[in-house]
Amino acid sequence: MHADMVDLKLFAAVAEARSITGGANAANLALASASARIKGLEATVGVPLLKRGRRGVTLTTAGESLLGHARIIMQNVETMRGDMAAYANGMKASVSMLANTVGLSEHLPKALASFLREHPNVSLEVEERESADIAQAIAAGIADLGFAAEHTLPDSLERFTFNEDRLMLVTAPRSDLAGRRHIDFHEIIDRDFVGLTNATALQNHIGKYAAQLGARLRYRAQMRDFDAMCQMAAAGVGIAIVPEVAARRCARSTALALIRIRDPWANRKLAICFRSLKTLSRPAQQMIEHLRAAARA
């Protein structure tokens, strides 16, 4: 098929607005020109892309597929333009990454810092999201690579396991739970908790499983990081659920009881994911190669 960037941007705008008129306005095209371009695009692919109705348009199955491809193409073109402009202006190339809470706070900083130290002309943009959102965003071409729980990733994404992550319960040594080695989540959902701030991906992850049990966790305190959470738990303010790597690190300096959570969702494999290694910029490929080596180390 033959479609230029104007056609793809127009089609994406129409899909978002659910209206050819709205899409034409967003793309700065006259309605007649936009309508002709959409019809030409449908003629090129040989199938209808839109279902037209009195209240606007909806995408056909073929239209949904084309929209996904169009977004990836537009993202790749923007990435190419940004990289070339950065080089032309003597600036750094940029890599975009999405990561869940535990990745940002515990697993990635050391590996990313060593990469950036070795590649002074590359900069990194990282955004925190939940694993399921990361999988959807990477598939849609919103970022170059992601760090997420492996079970949330669709087969269409390339990935490699970076490490394993177990969520653990931490509590004060004098707590009635302190003698337990294992515990089920349903046993503790009515307790006072210490958590992270509401916006974190991990907090939403834990809250989702509480909701499945018909409960809403009760937080006495919500802290900025795992260290502060563990200090609150050690003081008996409430119990906390944190990654094992953070729990064991904090236990070296704070008196804590660590208890494994038996629920399957508390034991996760964490993976680096991306759409296709071949389509990524060279700096993004280099970062993936570096993270792959760090995972093997």
pLDDT tens, residue by residue, 260-295: 999 999 988 899 999 989 888 889 999 999 999 999
Instruction: Please check the confidence at residue 64 and state whether its pLDDT lies above 60.
Output: yes
Pair type for strands 257-261 and 158-171: antiparallel
Question: Do 30 and 39 meet the contact criterion of CB atoms below 8 Å apart?
Answer: no
Instruction: Please check the confidence at residue 88 and state whether its pLDDT lies above 70.
Output: no
> How large a percentage of the chain has pLDDT more than 90?
63
- The DSSP annotation for 230-263 comes to HHHHHTTS-EEEEEHHHHHHHHTTS--EEEEE-S
Rounded CA-CA distance 280/138 in Å is: 12
Q: How many CA atoms lie within 13 A of 76 on its CB side?
A: 19
Instruction: Please check the confidence at residue 92 and state whether its pLDDT lies above 80.
Output: no
Instruction: Please check the confidence at residue 91 and state whether its pLDDT lies above 60.
Output: no
Quote the distance between the C-alpha of residue 149 and its chain's center.
9
Instruction: Please check the confidence at residue 94 and state whether its pLDDT lies above 70.
Output: yes
pLDDT at residue 2 in the model: 66
14: pLDDT confidence band, cut at 50, 70 and 90? very high
Instruction: State the chain's mean pLDDT as an integer.
Output: 90
Instruction: Please check the confidence at residue 90 and state whether its pLDDT lies above 60.
Output: no
Higher pLDDT, 184 or 45: 184
86: pLDDT confidence band, cut at 50, 70 and 90? low
pLDDT at residue 76 in the model: 78
Higher pLDDT, 3 or 174: 174
Q: Encode pLDDT of 230-263 as tens digits.
A: 999 999 999 999 999 999 999 999 999 999 999 9
Q: Encode pLDDT of 188-204 as tens digits.
A: 999 999 998 866 778 88
Rounded CA-CA distance 193/22 in Å is: 47
The radius of gyration of the chain's CA atoms, rounded to the nearest angstrom, is 24
Q: Is the pTM of this model over 0.75?
A: no
Rounded CA-CA distance 25/133 in Å is: 29
Higher pLDDT, 63 or 86: 63
Q: Distances from the Cα of 1 to the Cαs of 43, 46, 67, 196, 241, in angstroms?
A: 10, 9, 15, 49, 52
